[in-house]
Amino acid sequence: MARMIRLGVDTGGTFTDFVLLDEQGGVRVHKVLSTPEAPEAAILRGVAELGLDTSCLQMVHGSTVATNAVLEGKGVEALYIANRGFADLLTIGRQQRAALYDLQPPVAEAPVPEGHCLETGGRLGADGRPIESLSEADLADLRAAVERLAPQAVAVNLLFSYLDPRLEERIAAAMPDGVFVSLSSRVLPEIREYERGMATWLNAWIGPRVAGYLARLRGGLRDVPISVMQSSGDTVAALQAADHAVRMLLSGPAGGLVAAREVGAAGGHQRLLTFDMGGTSTDVALVDAEPRLTTEGSIGRFPVAVPMVDMHTIGAGGGSIAWLDTGSMLQVGPQSAGAVPGPACYGRGGDLPTVTDANLVLGRLQPDAFLGGDMRLERTAAVKAIEGLAVGMHCSVEQAAADIVAVANELMAQALRSISIRRGADPREHVLVSFGGAGGLHVCALAELLEIPAAMVPVHGGVLSALGMLAARPGRQLSRTLIGLLSELSVSSLEAAFTELRGQGFNALRDEGFEIGDCDALASVDVRYLGQSYTLNLPWQGPRQTIEAFHAMHLQRYGHRLDLPVELVNLRQWVRGPATRVVLPRLANAPAAQPFARCAVAGIAAESAQYWRDALVAGQAINGPALICERVATTWVAPGWALAVDGVGNLQLSRRPASP
Which of residues 224 and 461 earns the better pLDDT score?
A: 224
Which of residues 397 and 660 earns the better pLDDT score?
A: 397
Domain ranges in the chain are: 1-62+250-472+580-660, 74-203, 473-576
* Least confident stretch, 58-72, 409-423, 535-549: 58-72
Which of residues 136 and 288 earns the better pLDDT score?
A: 136
Q: Which regions of 158-281 does DSSP assign to beta strands (E)?
A: 180-183, 226-229, 234-237, 271-277
pTM: 0.84
How high is the pLDDT of residue 114? 92
How high is the pLDDT of residue 397? 95
pLDDT tens track for 531-541:
999 899 999 99
Q: Is the pLDDT of residue 23 over 70?
A: no
Give which of 35, 123, 28, 32 is closest to 82, Cα–Cα.
123
Q: Mean pLDDT across the stretch 181-188?
A: 96
* CA 573 to centroid of chain Cα atoms: 21
Residue type for 608, please? S
| Burial group, residue 561, by CB count within 10 angstroms (0-12, 13-18, 19+) | middle
How high is the pLDDT of residue 288? 85
Q: Is 473-576 assigned to CATH 3.30.1490?
A: yes
| Burial group, residue 479, by CB count within 10 angstroms (0-12, 13-18, 19+) | buried
In contact, 291 and 257? CB cutoff 8 Å: yes
How high is the pLDDT of residue 406? 96
> Phi/psi of residue 281, each to 5°?
-145, 170
CATH fold match for the domains 74-203 and 473-576: no
Residue type for 514, please? F
In contact, 466 and 18? CB cutoff 8 Å: yes
Which of residues 98 and 246 earns the better pLDDT score?
A: 246
Cα(541)–Cα(147) distance, integer angstroms: 50
Which of residues 495 and 63 earns the better pLDDT score?
A: 495
Give which of 284, 238, 323, 517 is closest to 420, Cα–Cα.
284
Q: Is the pLDDT of residue 462 over 80?
A: no
How high is the pLDDT of residue 1? 41
Domain topology for 74-203? Rossmann fold (3.40.50)
- Rounded to 10°, the helix 166-174/136-149 angle is 50
Q: Is the pLDDT of residue 654 over 80?
A: yes
Residue type for 160, please? F
* Least confident stretch, 111-115, 120-124, 338-342, 471-475: 338-342
pLDDT tens track for 600-616:
999 998 899 999 998 99
Residue type for 259, please? A
How high is the pLDDT of residue 169? 97
Which of residues 423 and 282 earns the better pLDDT score?
A: 282
Whether cis (ω within 30° of 0) applies to the bond prior to 106 is no
How high is the pLDDT of residue 13? 72
pLDDT tens track for 558-599:
889 999 999 999 999 999 999 877 778 888 888 899 999 999
Which of residues 544 and 223 earns the better pLDDT score?
A: 544
Binned at pLDDT 50, 70 and 90, residue 368 comes out as confident
Mean pLDDT of the chain: 90
Q: How many CA atoms lie within 13 A of 473 on its CB side?
A: 19
pLDDT tens track for 291-330:
888 888 888 788 999 999 988 888 888 888 999 998 889 9
Q: Mean pLDDT across the stretch 49-55?
A: 88
Q: Is the pLDDT of residue 524 over 50?
A: yes
Q: Which regions of 116-267 does DSSP assign to beta strands (E)?
A: 117-120, 123-124, 130-132, 153-157, 180-183, 226-229, 234-237
Q: Is the pLDDT of residue 632 over 90?
A: no
Contacts 24+ apart (CB under 8 A), 167-174: 167/122, 167/124, 167/134, 170/122, 170/134, 170/139, 171/81, 171/120, 171/122, 171/134, 171/139, 171/142, 174/139, 174/140, 174/142, 174/143
How high is the pLDDT of residue 401? 96
Q: Is the pLDDT of residue 24 over 80?
A: no
pLDDT tens track for 383-413:
999 998 999 999 999 999 999 999 999 999 9
Cα(448)–Cα(463) distance, integer angstroms: 24
Q: Is the pLDDT of residue 2 over 60?
A: no
